[in-house]
């Protein structure tokens, strides 16, 4: 797992438009998409959790054990 994570982080940070990465293990951020997945009976449906505020939006998605968090400006 660690080797895979390190490779993903290395590949991700090579992209000049990415300014940071959040790594978190079985806490609130990773639990949100797990709970959202329980809302559907379709195993191919991958939910996206969107947190919205006046300061921007945060999208959270889990796919194949990797949780992605994307922050967007308003």
Residue 55's pLDDT is 82
Task: Please give the Cα distance from 34 to 39 (Å, whole number).
Answer: 10
Q: Which residues, at least 6 apart from 73, have a Cβ–Cβ distance to it below 8 Å? A: 56
Task: Please give the Cα distance from 53 to 47 (Å, whole number).
Answer: 20
DSSP label at residue 13: H
Instruction: List the domain range (segments joined by +) for residue 43.
Output: 2-72
Task: Please give the Cα distance from 68 to 51 (Å, whole number).
Answer: 13
Q: Which residues, at least 6 apart from 39, have a Cβ–Cβ distance to it below 8 Å? A: 47
The domain tally of the chain equals 1
Instruction: Indicate the pLDDT class of residue 74, thresholds 50, 70 and 90.
Output: low
**CATH number assigned to the domain comprising residue 58:** 3.30.450.30
Write down the pTM of the prediction.
0.59
Could you report the per-residue pLDDT of 60-69, keeping only the tens digit for each? Answer: 888 777 777 7
């Amino acid at each position: 797992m660690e080797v895979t994570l390190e490779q993903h982080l290395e590949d991700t940070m090579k992209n000049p438009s990415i300014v940071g990465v959040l790594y978190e293990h079985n806490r609130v951020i990773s639990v949100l998409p797990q709970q959202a997945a329980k809302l559907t009976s379709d195993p191919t449906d991958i939910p996206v959790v969107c947190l919205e505020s006046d300061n921007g939006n945060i999208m959270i998605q889990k796919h194949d054990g990797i949780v992605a968090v994307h922050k967007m400006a308003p």
